[in-house]
Amino acid sequence: MPDKQKPDLLVDWCSYEAAKYAVEHWHYSGTMPTSPTVRIGVWENRCFIGAVIFSRGACKNLGTSYGLQQTEVCELARVALSAHLTPTSRIVACALKMLVEDNARLRLVVSFADANEGHLGVLYQAGNWVYCGETTASCKWRDARGRLWHSRQVSKTGWRVQYGKMRQVPATADCVRITQLPKHRYLYPLDKAMRRRIEPLRQPYPKRESVRLLEGPQLPAEVGGAEPTRTLQQAGE
C-alpha cells in the first residue's frame, strides 16, 4: 500500500507570475531576482507550494573566480516555499536536475545564505554543496519610507545608469546607511571536472549550536522557464 504520509510531489516549469507570487508570499526578500531567470514551480498533492528560481546573479563576474564565462554559471537566487512535507533538499535537487537538462553549458551553481536573516545555509549543507567562506561585508540604504535599497540602487546624485539607461534612484543623503553582515557562499558543481576544480576551496560548514540539518517536514524559515507554463491554480484544475 502507498505511504499515506508521503506527499505527491510535482516539480515543473512555472510562469513568471507563479514564481512572483511565491516570492512575494514565501520569501523574506519579497522581490524577484533580475531577469533572465529560470523558474521551477513546486506542487504537493496537486497544490502549488512555491518556486525555485535561478538567475545570472547581480554580479556579471559571478564565475570569474572559478575560470567560467557568464553563460557557464548561474545563481540559485530564490527558494520560496510555503509549509511543505517534502525535504527542501530534495526539491532543490529536482530543480537542479531540470536546470542541467535544459542548460547543457552550465557547469556551476552559486548561492548565498544571508546571515542578516540568521541563515547559515542549512539547505546547502544537506545537499552537500561546497562551502567556500563569506562574501565581503556590504551595506544597504533605508529610505524615509523604511524601504531597504542595495548599494547598486542608490547614488549621491539621485541618478544612476541601470540596464543601459539613466534612471532616477534614491539619493544617499536622503537615506540611512545600514551595515550588512557578510553572506555565506556555497557552490554546486554540475560536472566532475568542476567538482575537482572547486573542491580545494571547501571550508568547514558554519554551525550554530542549535542548528540541525532538517530533513523532515519543514517551514520556509531558511530557504536563501520554459514551456509548459502552469498557473497559480492547483494542478489539474
Together in a domain, 73 and 41: yes
Q: Identify whether 85 is part of a domain.
A: yes
Residue that terminates a domain, selected from 180, 196, 211: 180
Q: Identify whether 16 is part of a domain.
A: yes
Q: What is the pLDDT of residue 126?
A: 95
Together in a domain, 159 and 60: no
Q: C-alpha cell of 20?
A: 512572483
Rounded-to-integer distance, Cα 21 and Cα 24, Å: 5
- Give the closest residue to 183 by CA, choosing from 96, 113, 99: 113
Q: What is the pLDDT of residue 151?
A: 84
Together in a domain, 79 and 167: no
Proportion of the chain above pLDDT 70, given as a percent: 86
Together in a domain, 201 and 151: no
Q: Identify whether 108 is part of a domain.
A: yes
Q: What is the DSSP letter of 85?
A: S
Q: What is the DSSP letter of 114?
A: -
Together in a domain, 126 and 151: no
Which residues lie across from 41 on neighbouring strands? 12, 51
Mean pLDDT, range 86-94, rounded to an integer:
96
Q: What is the pLDDT of residue 233?
A: 34
Together in a domain, 103 and 198: yes
- Rg of the Cα trace of the chain? 19
Q: What is the pLDDT of residue 175?
A: 94
Together in a domain, 42 and 151: no
**DSSP per residue over 60-99, as a string?**
TTTTGGGT--GGGEEEEEEEEE-SBSS-HHHHHHHHHHHH
Together in a domain, 31 and 80: yes
Confidence of residue 237 (pLDDT cuts 50, 70, 90): very low
Rounded-to-integer distance, Cα 12 and Cα 41, Å: 5
Q: Identify whether 232 is part of a domain.
A: no
Q: Give the Å distances, CA to CA, from 210 to 120, 124, 183.
A: 12, 17, 19
Q: What is the pLDDT of residues 184-203, one digit of tens each?
A: 999 999 999 999 999 999 99
pLDDT at 89 over 90: yes
Q: What is the pLDDT of residues 37-59, one digit of tens each?
A: 999 999 999 999 999 999 987 77
Mean pLDDT, range 195-221, rounded to an integer:
70
Q: Identify whether 237 is part of a domain.
A: no
Q: What is the pLDDT of residue 208?
A: 77
Q: Identify whether 231 is part of a domain.
A: no
Together in a domain, 41 and 97: yes
- Give the closest residue to 189 by CA, choosing from 117, 101, 109, 132: 109
Please indicate whether residue 140 or residue 191 has the higher confidence score (pLDDT).
191
Q: Identify whether 230 is part of a domain.
A: no
Mean pLDDT, range 206-213, rounded to an integer:
61
pLDDT at 28 over 80: yes
Q: How many domains does the chain have?
A: 2
Q: What is the pLDDT of residue 122?
A: 94
- Residue 129 belongs to domain with CATH number: 3.40.630.30
Rounded-to-integer distance, Cα 19 and Cα 13, Å: 10
Q: What is the pLDDT of residue 4?
A: 55
Together in a domain, 176 and 189: no
Q: Identify whether 63 is part of a domain.
A: yes
Q: Which residues are CB-contacts of 120 (< 8 A; sequence separation ≥ 6)?
A: 113, 184, 205, 206, 207, 208, 211, 222
Range of the domain at 106: 9-136+182-222
Mean pLDDT, range 115-121, rounded to an integer:
90
Mean pLDDT, range 90-98, rounded to an integer:
97
Together in a domain, 189 and 202: yes
Q: Is residue 87 within 8 Å of 81, Cβ to Cβ?
A: no
Q: What is the pLDDT of residue 213?
A: 42
pLDDT at 210 over 90: no
Q: What is the DSSP letter of 127?
A: T
Together in a domain, 187 and 165: no
Mean pLDDT, range 27-43, rounded to an integer:
94
